[in-house]
Amino acid sequence: MSAQTDQWPAIPLESWRDTLDTLHLYSQVPGKIRTKLAPPEPEFNHVTLYVAGRGLTTGPIPYGGRAFELAFDFVDHRFVIACSDGATSFIDLGQRSVASFYAAVMAGLRDCGVEVKISELPQEVPDPIPFSQDDKHASYDRAAVERFWRALVGIDTAFKAHRAPFRGRHSPVQLWWGSFDLGYERFSGRPAAPPPNANFIYRESMDAELINAGFWPGDARFPEPAFFAYAYPKPEGLESASIAPTAAFWSKELGEWALRYEDVRRSPSPHDMIMQFLSSTYDAAASRMRWDPELKGRS
């Protein structure tokens, strides 16, 4: 297997859909714990997970005079609770239901002296089942999870290179456990009105002008892994803008630009292709929204 194929593996949605659904629900447990305990930030930037050296992590979560971190280790396939005072707990991943995973995480936190209550109802998923009652989702294909994580490492690296020179307010590169996409947002500094009849999430997250880019592993709307980009509020004529690479396109179904992951992984330089997409979609949106050119910085 070539180094490039290993770094940019094929991750067709249908090959691991059941495992993806289970992993998505697993991720909501630490995400909700972080949401409960972390200091609130604008646009929910205090709730997300991050790509880490061995999987995904919450980063440090404050708890009284201590801190703890919750992490998925996709090398040894275990969930790790690590506290600043040295207390630790390890939970094996595998053919474990969401109910079993949730019970083990909460028990591990109690063993480490952390008491927290969260809403058990998953968010942004169809037909949600409370965590403690979900014995339906219990698929865990180790090889599929590893392939997904290897892809995330390369994608996260490219997004961070794109993020680095920006001089305005912007988010980290972060994984949203509700929609299960890796995303990055830039802001102009100007406010915006949320969409009409917006729910709580949209009211709180769409209150400022932004340009968003991200990656998701596929869902019912677009059943294959892909990159996306959009601007809010959408400027007139955005869909007709010329962007790169040539494989990128405006999706009428999604109302945003898209670039299939399969086109990226098969290119001579996946990293460069991602960077072209991120840079050109930002330029197209920022020029139409009359953002300050100095915000972009120098790459």
Q: Are residues 119 and 162 in the same domain?
A: no
As for how many domains the chain has, the answer is 2
Q: Are residues 187 and 75 in the same domain?
A: no
**pLDDT tens across 211-224, in order?**
999 999 999 889 99
Q: How far apart are CA 104 and CA 91, in angstroms?
A: 7
**Model pTM score:** 0.94
Residue 170 belongs to some domain of the structure = yes
- To the nearest 10 degrees (0 to 180), the angle between helices 98-111 and 17-37 is 30
**pLDDT tens across 9-39, in order?**
999 999 999 999 999 999 999 999 999 999 9
**Last-in-domain residue among 110, 133, 156:** 133
**Last-in-domain residue among 81, 102, 133:** 133
Q: Report, as an integer, the average pLDDT of 58-78.
A: 97
Q: Are residues 224 and 185 in the same domain?
A: yes
Q: Are residues 51 and 93 in the same domain?
A: yes
Q: Are residues 286 and 186 in the same domain?
A: yes
Banded model confidence at residue 206, pLDDT cuts 50, 70, 90: confident
**pLDDT tens across 99-143, in order?**
999 999 999 999 999 999 999 999 999 999 999 999 999 999 999
Residue 158 belongs to some domain of the structure = yes
Q: Are residues 223 and 270 in the same domain?
A: yes
Residue 1 belongs to some domain of the structure = no
Burial class (CB in 10 A: 0-12, 13-18, 19+), 199: exposed
Tokens at 175, concatenated: 């994984």
Residue 173 belongs to some domain of the structure = yes
Q: How far apart are CA 226 and CA 261, in angstroms?
A: 5
Q: Are residues 119 and 154 in the same domain?
A: no
**Last-in-domain residue among 87, 104, 133:** 133
Q: Which domain holds residue 106?
A: 9-133
